[in-house]
Amino acid sequence: MMDLRWIIEAILFSSPKPVKLKALFKRLDGYKDDDIRQALRELTEEYRNSDRSIEIVPVSGGYQMRTRVEYREWVKKFIKERNAGLTRPMLEALSLIAYKQPITKREIDTFRGVDSSRVIKQLIEKRLVEIAGRTEDVGKPIAFRTTDTFLEAYGLKDIEDLPTLKEIKELEK
């Protein structure tokens, strides 16, 4: 039988999106869940402790092969990055949603001081934001939250990986 680590490596290398552990369990029939988990752990550790320019990172609830940060400038010379096309108003709204989710349009408008209908619509179209449901407030307004696409785009394992205000202020020094 083939080495499970190399099978998982090939899957991660081939996938444009993070691969969820559940998907590995489901599709790697013939292998036990614990063996898959162990092989993934070993493979991740092997990449972490090597001099490779690639690493395996947990992102958006799955695992993905990514270029190490220190090689980013070299890679950018060869591969044109997709421009997310986020305007300043979109970034403002996205930041509010990411840090305050779930949050209503009214709350976003209050923070920004302007109507946010258009930017919220654009963020939904880019699949960075989605409807989280309705609140219990008067009129039951719609609340918004970030998506897995947001986590993937910003290389976050989950929303708790967002930098704190203190960490952001440290960067400004």
With DSSP H G I counted as helix, E B as strand and the rest as coil, what are the percentages for the chain, rounded to 5?
A: 50, 15, 35
Q: Say yes or no: 99 and 71 in one domain.
A: no
Q: Say yes or no: 113 and 67 in one domain.
A: no
Q: Say yes or no: 63 and 12 in one domain.
A: yes
Mean pLDDT, range 39-57, rounded to an integer: 93
Calculate the CA 3 to chain-centre distance: 29
pLDDT band at 60 (very low <50, low <70, confident <90, very high): confident
**Token pair listed for 5:** 């680590």
Give the pLDDT of residue 77. 81
Assigned domain for 82 exists: no
Give the pLDDT of residue 81. 57
| Closest listed residue to residue 58, CA positions, set 49, 70, 45, 71 | 45
Mean pLDDT, range 62-71, rounded to an integer: 91
Mean pLDDT, range 15-20, rounded to an integer: 91
Mean pLDDT, range 23-51, rounded to an integer: 94
Of 27, 48, 76, which marks where a domain is finished? 76
Name 9's Cβ contacts closer than 8 Å, sequence gap at least 6: 43
Q: Say yes or no: 36 and 64 in one domain.
A: yes
Q: Say yes or no: 123 and 156 in one domain.
A: yes
- DSSP letter at 17? S
pLDDT tens-place string over residues 73-113 = 888 788 765 556 788 899 999 999 999 999 999 999 999 99
Of 49, 76, 103, which marks where a domain is finished? 76
Q: Say yes or no: 60 and 115 in one domain.
A: no
Assigned domain for 142 exists: yes
Of 76, 108, 134, which marks where a domain is finished? 76
Q: Say yes or no: 128 and 67 in one domain.
A: no
pLDDT tens-place string over residues 138-170 = 889 999 999 998 998 888 888 888 888 787 777
Provide the domain limits for residue 72.
4-76
Looking at the chain, list the stretches that DSSP marks H as alpha helix, in order from N- to C-terminal side: 4-14, 21-27, 33-48, 72-76, 88-100, 105-112, 117-125, 148-153, 165-172
Residue 63's DSSP bridge partners are 19, 58
Averaged confidence pLDDT in the chain: 89
* CATH number of the domain where residue 156 is located: 1.10.10.10
* Single-letter amino acid, residue 63: Y
Q: Measured on CA atoms in the order 91, 93, 96, 102, is the torsion positive or negative?
A: negative
| Closest listed residue to residue 91, CA positions, set 115, 60, 107, 112 | 112
Number of domains into which the chain is organized: 2
